[in-house]
Amino acid sequence: YAITTNVSGTDPLVSPFTINNTDIIQATGNTVFTTATNFTISGTGTFNTNGFTIDVNGVIGGTGNLTKSGSNTLTLTGANTY
């Protein structure tokens, strides 16, 4: 089963945050993850912009796959290793 985590604002999650299986990070407002927030993807992780912007400046790592859904922009600027 998938777990949907709603996010909004600056660094709304505790780092490091693991996205398992088919989990979804879903914006409920414009969201910025600074370099202080890193993600590990195991399985297929989805960032759903849901009409808002999501900026990920931290590192996204792991062996999984990353997908983007929803309208608007997902920006990845970290030194990602996934």
pLDDT tens for the chain, 82 residues long, are: 678 999 998 988 888 888 888 889 999 999 999 888 899 999 888 999 999 999 999 999 999 999 999 999 999 999 898 7
- The HSE-up count of residue 16 (CA atoms within 13 Å, CB side) is 12
CB 74 within 8 A of CB 52: no
pLDDT at 53: 95
pLDDT at 21: 83
pLDDT at 82: 79
Instruction: Give the whole-angstrom CA distance, residue 52 versus residue 31.
Output: 8
